[in-house]
Structure 1
Amino acid sequence: MSDTLRAGVIGLGMIGGGVAVSLARSGRIPAVYDVRPDAAADLAGVPDPLGSPAEVAEASDVVMVAVVNAHQAREVIGGNDGLLRAARPGLTVVLLATVALPVVHELAALCAEFGVGFLDCGVTPGDKAAENGMVAILGGEQKTVDAALPVLVDWARKVVHCGPPGAGMATKIARNVVTYGSWRTVAEAAALARAAAVDPARLAEVIDAADPEGRTLLQLLRMQGADGVLPEAVGRQIEPLMTKDLDAARDLASALGVPTPLADVVRTQAHRTLQLDAEPAPVPAPAKDDVHAYGLHMMDRVYGPGLSTAVQDADDPFSAETVDYLFAQVWGREGLSVRDRRLLTLGVAATVGKPQLVQIIANGALINGELSADQLREAVLHLAVYTGWCKATATHTGVTAAIHAHTAQPPTPQEQK
């Protein structure tokens, strides 16, 4: 049956036209359609376009849709003369256009209503379409992939099934980020080389000679485990070299007056790139209708993990209202952020003049990253004007104690002894 499957192509631009040429070269002459009547004139072995996408559906078992955007894809597939107008169960539509994922799911659902299979299929590189040189990046059900595979391999040098509907498009979009992101990297690197009186062609020569298969580009991906996590030991080993090299690049760029914004971002995000500052995923908040549990959650969110353990089993009225009302229903309201409420509370605490109370509030701000040490010190000066210097002295004492506790180095094993 694979030899008798009939192929169709809609859209005879660079990609669609190339797919049609590759199919013809493979001996599977496609039925084609394009809004330009003469679109196949220069495409070797490709017949003249039919009158509509519906006519292509009648003459095909697998149809590649190589249009430009989502509007065209909708028209070609579901329009008045679209594929589904003449579709029969068993037809497979393969969308080669890069569109948003919601559009992929919309078109997949529409095809399913007609008993028509649907595959989203990113392709790359487009300039190799006429040479059986593209990679087909598929999303869809396995049975649909199997049904279309004999036709796909007639125009693609490799077919990669990435997962369920949408997976092919998501992979293609991610691939585009790598492509265009690397272009920006090359633009900055070439500008830096040129400013240093180096012909960028020499830079290209060095890269081609040192890394002819481009392994360096995806080296980080290969070093990660199946779960996408880079082993910490690997990150720690790479980090000193990475930061040293990027600092040298920034120094050179500064000396030559060459703007390198991407290199700056890469340097500042080095720890995140190497997953050295990754934090565990936050525990989901309890539902607000579980007032006590939500109050305990807010207490820890306000003053740091573990504070709630001191009161979670308390059964006296004051402790219960502190959790259920103060934290669940006041701190937990959406009208102000936790940071906003903390600043208000810090102001009130300053009027009381109790360093220990100020320290608790300031410590929560430091733990949550809401206020820096310098911002807290600035707050002390501001509050001094309004509360008086004597009370501000207590505020300064509490803030300073919180900063020292927050920035103190943990004791060494020898000190602990």
Structure 2
Amino acid sequence: MLPSSPQVRSVYSEGVLPTLRRLPKEQARGTLCIDSTTLDVTVAREVAGDVISTGAQMVDAPVSGGVTGAKAGTLSFLVGGTTESFERSQSILTLMGQRIIHCGPSGSGLGAKICNNLVLGVQQIVVAESMLLGQKLGLDPAVLAGVINSSTGGCWASSVNNPVPSALPEKSPPCERDYEGGFATALMLKDMGLATEIANEAGSPLPLGRAAENIYAQVIKQQPVLARKDFSSVYRFLQITAEDGKKVKLTE
């Protein structure tokens, strides 16, 4: 699992592929590559094609579940590849996760992950907005979170990753640790960028996704310290922006 597309290209082109090409054919055919990076779908398919050309097998297997899921071994793996490659990968992936989902051919796991994180990225912003608004209306964060989480607004961004300290008394989201130990804002910005890029290629409208990408970019530009903090720290960005009397720009 690497940061993004450039690192995957480098690792495979400079290390994995040359090694596979030097292996006896039987050893190459016995090799399975599993890449859990969230990267560009086109790059992933190109790399998988190069790996398969050596006789080896490869799946893209990005994860969902965050740091908490990784520690607990409850991650979901979203797998793209042939049925044979998927079946070979299952015994390995089940050691790290609970749900191993075959999404389709090469690149499909990444497509599913990008779509999932598109939803998550947008939801985390609107949860931050609603929690901030609620407090300005005099609502206790724990009461408001309880209402949202038991109503139609309920979602992971509120029930597990709520951005307001004390909003989830029986849980320990990153906001209780100064937004440390979660999914970095810089990584969410990268994933939102992947979503907008693939939407451009597919000709699919993405109005909320583009607005969310721009907001995460503003978070990092205006408050660089939040780049490595959990992406729920977008709440802090909105809070400080409101205190300074500024407005959040939806477009550049």
Q: Give the TM-score normalised by structure 2.
A: 0.55
Structure 2 unaligned residues grouped into runs of 5+: 159-244
Which amino acid letter does the alignment assign opposite residue 138 of structure 1? Answer: V
Establish whether residue 82 from structure 1 lines up as the match of residue 16 from structure 2.
yes
What root-mean-square deviation, in Å, do the aligned CA atoms of Structure 1 and Structure 2 show?
Answer: 2.8
- Cα contact 1:105–1:166 (8 A) shared by 2: yes
Alignment of structure 1 residues 96-111 onto 2, 5 Å? 96-111=36-51
| Equivalent pair of 2:17/2:50 in contact (CA under 8 Å) | no
Q: Equivalent residues in 2 for 1:223-234 (5 A)?
A: none
Stretches of structure 1 that go unaligned for 5 or more consecutive residues are: 1-65, 218-256, 263-417
Distance in 1, Cα, partners of 2:132 & 2:12 = 45
Instruction: Give, as a single letter, the amino acid of the residue that structure 2 aligns with 1:85.
Output: T
8 Å contact kept, 2:33–2:59? yes
Q: SS state of the match for residue 30, structure 2?
A: coil
Counterpart for residue 240 of structure 1:
none
| 2:76 is the counterpart of 1:158 | no
| 1:103 CA displacement | 0.5
In structure 2, what is the equivalent of residue 123 of structure 1?
A: 63
* Aligned counterparts of 1:74 and 1:184: Cα–Cα separation in 2: 32
Which of 48, 70, 94 does residue 34 from structure 2 map onto?
94
2:7 counterpart SS class: helix
- 2:8 partner letter: A
Q: Structure 1 CA distance, aligned partners of 2:134 and 2:248?
A: 12
**DSSP-derived class of the 1:82 partner:** helix
Task: Provide the residue aligned with 2:141 in structure 1.
Answer: 200
Q: Distance in 2 between matches of 1:68 and 1:83?
A: 19
| TM-superposed deviation, 1:131 | 2.1
Q: For residues 183 and 261 of structure 1, do their structure 2 counterparts lie closer, same or farther at Cα, with a shift above 3 Å needed?
A: farther
8 Å Cα contact 1:188/1:260 also seen in 2: no
Amino acid in the other structure paired with 2:122: G
Aligned to 1:178: 119
Question: Post-superposition shift, 1:162?
Answer: 0.8
Q: 1:5-404 maps to which residues of 2 (within 5 A)?
A: 66-79=1-14, 81-82=15-16, 84-86=18-20, 88-127=28-67, 128-210=69-151, 214=155
Q: Give the deviation of 1:199 after TM superposition.
A: 2.4
Report the Cα offset of residue 91 of structure 1. Answer: 1.0
Q: In 2, are the aligned partners of 1:94 and 1:121 still within 8 Å (CA)?
A: yes
Residue-by-residue CA offset, 1:209-266 (whole Å, 9 max, x unaligned): 3469849x9xxxxxxxxxxxxxxxxxxxxxxxxxxxxxxxxxxxxxxx997999xxxx
The 2-side partners of 1:214 and 1:183 are apart by 9
| 1:90–1:96 distance in 2 versus 1, CA, 3 Å | same
Task: Tell me the number of residue pairs that the alignment of Structure 1 and Structure 2 aligns.
Answer: 156
Separation (CA, whole Å) in 1 of partners of 2:129 and 2:246: 8
Instruction: Note closer, same or farther for the CA distance 1:184–1:199 as it changes in structure 2 (3 Å cut).
Output: same
Query: Secondary structure in 2 aligned to 1:168?
Result: helix
2 CA distance for matches of 1:259 and 1:191? 14
CA distance in 2, matches of 1:258, 1:188: 15
The CA deviation at 1:159 is: 0.4
Cα-to-partner distance string for 1:134-171 (whole Å, 9 max, x where unaligned): 00001111111011211111111110111111110010
Flag the 1:259–1:188 CA change in 2: closer, same or farther, 3 A: farther
Checking the alignment, whether the CA contact within 8 Å between 1:119 and 1:165 is kept in structure 2 is yes
Contact 2:36 2:63 in 1 (8 A): yes
Structure whose CA Rg is larger = 1
Letter in 1 for 2:147: V
Amino acid at match of 1:126: G
